[in-house]
Structure 1
Amino acid sequence: MELTLTEPPADDNSVKQEIEKKTNTKLNISWVSSNNFVEKQSVTLASGDIPEMMMVNDAYDPQVLSLARQGAFWDITPFVKDYPNLKALQADTWTNTSIDGKSYGVPRLRALIGGGNFPLIRKDWLDQIGLKQPVTMDDMYQVFKAFTEQDPDGNGKKDTIGFTGYVAADGPGQYAWVENVFNNTQGKWKLKDGQLTDVTFDQGTRDALVWLNKAFTEGIIAPDFPTLKNSQVREMITTNKAGSFSDAMNPSWLLTGQLRKTTPQANLLPLTYLEGPQDKYVPKDSGAYGMYVIPKSVPEAKVKSILEFMNYGASEEGSVLANYGLKEIHYTEKDGLKTTNEQAIKDKVAAYGGLFANLDKYQRGYQSGIPADFMDRNRKIIDERTPHAVPNPAIGFISETGIKVGKEFDKKIQDMKTKVIMGRESIQAWDDFIAALKTNADYQKIIQETNEAYKKKAK
């Protein structure tokens, strides 16, 4: 099988040996660097020499999609019923990795709540300047402004900003939450009256650009956001240069722990939700991050053995073993909270977390070393987010035209958004740009084909 990791564990790793013992298997894992996994995945799939089980990080990668439809992978749909732990995985996980209504792989499970792109904010800075947790976008703006102007770190200098984040070449990156709140949907599409509408054309997207342009002009968001990398964004948080960024919940403790080495009262708080013009919004994850495919060259009997292996991984015992290691060797447990240790780092236990599912619905709130009170708070936030969480309504709906030219359009759209935010183009220029998109035959074909795919799956 093939998995991704920058530095792989040794072949005699104790966690691997325990997995082999529990499942009566012999594992031969090809570890691939996370830095070039996508490239290696593409080459391996194209070669046809595919391992007996292989991780693909996107079920709807065009190459994966094409091969599945050509019959290169086993359709495991008829078999899943015979493996109770796999069958019991959350329904969204299976739905959001299915292709034409069939399952061509075992999903890599992720918790539905706590992931996605949403603000984490310095609670200690809010307390320092006497502000409450923001609820609306107006509140958020005032918090960013206060973080920039009111010396929230108390060092007597005007050297902080409200929000930092990066953008991607083909999307808004860590600024996506602004559009999502204004549009009350996650991502590019919104389900309305039985149709998927492209929110690029919506008033909410325009309002988000106006909001961000004002924030940029007033200097309350990172002035160099188009060139920032994720590592630089996090460094701005841990060096008290910025009071907020967006991410999954996990870094709330990771970065707070780093901050507390110099600022004992530091407290990075994941927001529960934000109220936009239409409703409360917080993202709901897809429930999966890719899947494990089995090539059709594998005999059916071996397919069933592989599924039995993965069924163990979807048990509580298998999940804990792969994600935390061996009790009292790699982790300790107190009050229901597992804490990994230095041996877990040395043995690279986290590597096997990519193999077997983490069944804990609060997994996106956990970070190794997290204090019990911090984890309790994160669990409460996840519970409070659940009724307001909004999914991406267009997962798995593929446009053939989009495969060919969609990225090019995405880059052009994001380039225009960045220019509007920075004031290099006016909001009127955005309106003109949108008007041109409405008459672009290829772009309209992407919308048409995406809706055809949606209707096909809905049936």
Structure 2
Amino acid sequence: MMKKSSAIVLSCLVGMSGVLAACSKSGNEVSTTAKEDNKLVEINIMSDFYSPEPPSDQDPIRKEIEKKTNTKLNITWVSPNNYGDKTNVTLASGDIPELMLIREPFQAQIRKMADQGAFWDLTPLLKDYKNLSAFPAESWKNTSINGKNYGIPFTRPLYGTEGMPILRKDWLDQLGMQPPKNLDEMYAVMQAFTEKDPDGNGKKDTVGLTATVNANNMGSLSWVENVLNGNYGKWKDKDGKLIDMTFEKGTRDALIWLTKAYKEGLLAADFPTLKNSQVRESITTNKAGIFTDALKPTWLLTGQMRAANPKADLLQLSSLEGPQGKFAPKGSGAFGFWVIPKSVPEAKMKQILAFMDYGATKEGSDMANYGFKGEHYNEQDGMYLFTEKAKAYTGVIFPIFQSLDKYSFAYQTGIPADFLKRNMSIIDEEAKIATGDPAIGLNSDTYNKVGIDYDKRTQDLKVKIIFGREPIEAWDSYTAGLKADAQYQKIAAEFNDDYKKRQGK
């Protein structure tokens, strides 16, 4: 992959970067341009950032973006640790930036403001911005509110972004085993990783599977339910109607499978209290052999381990086969959206759309994500090869526009060519069979009021059953109660009503 040892493959962070400019004959034409006159277009923006420090106002790539787009960008950078709080305060104040990133577009406050006309409805305008219109259909659908697009999707790839089991492939090799293709084979691998000294230190000090769970869902153990139900998430489309997976046989079978694994010591004993950082540490310190995450961290953690163990290797499974066939998860295509408040005049709103439209071109996206071609990176065999100079950027260069690369979750800083190609092939395999969550963005007023309480009670019982504190029959009694609970059933009815509206029925 690399012609020079100084070249590296730069991480393509999930959907974060951007640029606007008017292009000429390169195939990156912007449908509408901000350069309608010689006056600088000043745009006030609020966004989060994931680099150690906020991007610099004086960064040469940002300056080039402003030059090309004839803009002056006033950006308020907010740490992701408190971006939700800052968002709520900003929206409540009424003093909304001209372009604002909303990470949770379906919270009740956002829906209410959209219904009240607080944001521009972009739906009828998108036809004039061909690069934005070219975003994946899922990105627009999964960020729509009542069938309308009040924001520009913060795009992210459809594949490689969701959690699937990641295994210590070097442990598999040590034990002469192949990557598992179904849950029976997965169970056998978990047993071997627990009982057969896969790290070769002569001690019985490893566990097959480690995980985290959330207060209201199964977290990184959800894949077991998903494989057995042949579905991604809590709701499944069956003949145009959403079915609650809580009542499906696969969910019950997942509890039985996990209960057995826990009883036999194949699942980390303290999984309900673990944090993601602790899970990763248990992998890199040879304490556990399987965890669940997106594709991107596979090289990050492998690279860390290879400092001490050159054979270390992490492999994400592209699928697992269950009763319904092969399962792989498909992402939503977005991680929030960008809104333009109605207080922005129509002419200015269109200039902002032109700004974002350029960021959806390859030229604009590449500049924002990777820097200057020939200086920070070159392209070879469909891969981005980066120079030492690119290492100066510890995060996304300009996190306003997103990467449009299908394989952006395959990349990680310093990834070797063979590892990258394998990650890319995993994405290709996922793309053939992946299924998405049909309920993303749907609304239920009843769920908004009481749904989280039901979810927490459900999750609490699941953990008790896995621990052996409650029998599986307790699940049968609980779900029977939910079927008879009018309030719970109203949630399903409201989600289905909204689902029909989305489908135009």
TM-score (norm 2): 0.88
Aligned 8 A contact 1:272 1:282 in 2: yes
Change in Cα spacing, 1:349 to 1:138, as seen in structure 2 (3 Å) is closer
Distance 1:101 1:287 in 2: 17
Conserved? CA contact 2:164–2:318, under 8 Å: no
Residues 105 and 233 (structure 1 numbering): CA distance in 2 closer, same or farther, change over 3 Å?
same
What are the superposed Cα offsets for residues 288-345 of structure 1, whole Å, 9 maximum, x if unpaired?
Answer: 1111000000001111111111011101111111112233544454443224566545
The separation in 2 between residues aligned to 1:231 and 1:190, in whole angstroms, is 31
CA positional deviation for 1:278: 1.2
1:51 alignment partner AA: P
Shift of 1:177: 0.5
Alpha-carbon separation, structure 2, partners of 1:349 and 1:218: 42
Structure 2: give runs of 5+ residues left out of the alignment.
Answer: 1-44
AA of the residue aligned to 2:366: V
1:398 matched to 2:443: yes
Tell me the equivalent position of 2:107.
61
Which residue does the alignment assign to 2:454? 409
Matched with 2:482 is 437
* Cα displacement (A) at 1:59: 2.2
Report what 1:300 is aligned to.
346
1:9-20 to structure 2, matched below 5 A, reads 9-20=55-66
CA contact (8 A) 1:164 1:245 kept: yes
Counterparts of residues 346-425 of structure 1 (less than 5 Å): 346-350=392-396, 352=398, 354-425=399-470
Match of 1:75 in 2: 121
More moved, 268-277 vs 1-10: 1-10
SS of 2:299's equivalent? helix
Shift of 1:365: 1.2
Partner of 2:70: 24
Deviation track 1:8-41 (CA, whole Å, cap 9, x = no partner) reads 1222122221221221111111111111111111
Native 8 Å contact 1:15 1:349 kept in 2: no
1:97 positional shift: 0.8
Q: For 2:177 and 2:147, locate their aligned partners in 1 and report how far apart those are by CA, in whole Å.
A: 49
Specify the SS of the correspondent of 1:29. Answer: strand
Mapped to 2, the partners of 1:340 and 1:364 lie a distance apart of 17
1:100 paired to 2:146: yes
Secondary structure of 1:26's aligned partner: strand
What letter is aligned with 2:110?
A: V
1:87 corresponds, among 120, 133, 140, to 133
Aligned position for 2:165: 119
**Matching residue within 319, 335, 339 for 1:273:** 319
Contact 1:106 1:292 in 2 (8 A): yes
Among 284, 300, 309, the alignment partner of 2:355 is 309
Measured at CA, do residues 387 and 334 of structure 1 come closer, stay the same or move farther in structure 2, by a change above 3 Å? closer
Decide whether the 8 Å contact of 2:151 with 2:340 is kept in 1: yes
Q: d(CA) in 1 for partners of 2:110 and 2:282?
A: 37
Q: How do residues 220-259 of structure 1 correspond to structure 2 at under 5 angstroms?
A: 220-259=266-305
State how far apart, in whole Å, the 1-side matches of 2:216 and 2:415 are. Answer: 34
Counterpart of 1:145, as a letter, is Q
2:120–2:342 contact (8 Å) kept in structure 1: yes
Relative contact order: is structure 1 or structure 2 higher (C-alpha 8 Å, sep ≥ 6)? 2
Letter in 1 for 2:443: I
The aligned residue for residue 4 of structure 1 is 48
Q: Deviations over 1:268-294 (max 9, x none)?
A: 111010001111100000111111000
Give 1:310's aligned amino acid: M
Asked whether the equivalents of residues 122 and 244 of structure 1 are also in contact (C-alpha less than 8 Å), the reply is yes
Backbone CA RMSD of aligned residues? 1.4
Counterpart residue identity of residue 104, structure 1:
Y
Identity over aligned pairs, percent:
57
| Secondary structure at the counterpart of residue 291 of structure 2 | strand
Q: Secondary structure at the match of 2:315?
A: strand
2:210 to 164, 183, 195: 164
Q: Deviations over 1:75-126 (max 9, x none)?
A: 1111111111111111111111111111101101111111111111111111
SS in structure 1 of the partner of residue 57 of structure 2: coil
SS class of match (1:317): helix
State the distance in 2 between where 1:52 and 1:342 align: 36
Q: For the Cα contact (< 8 Å) 2:165–2:293, is it kept in 1?
A: yes
Q: Which structure features the higher share of helix residues?
A: 1
Asked whether the equivalents of residues 323 and 349 of structure 1 are also in contact (C-alpha less than 8 Å), the reply is no
SS in 2 for 1:22: helix
Partner Cα separation in structure 1 for residue 408 and residue 491 of structure 2: 36
Q: What TM-score do you get using the length of structure 1 for normalisation?
A: 0.97
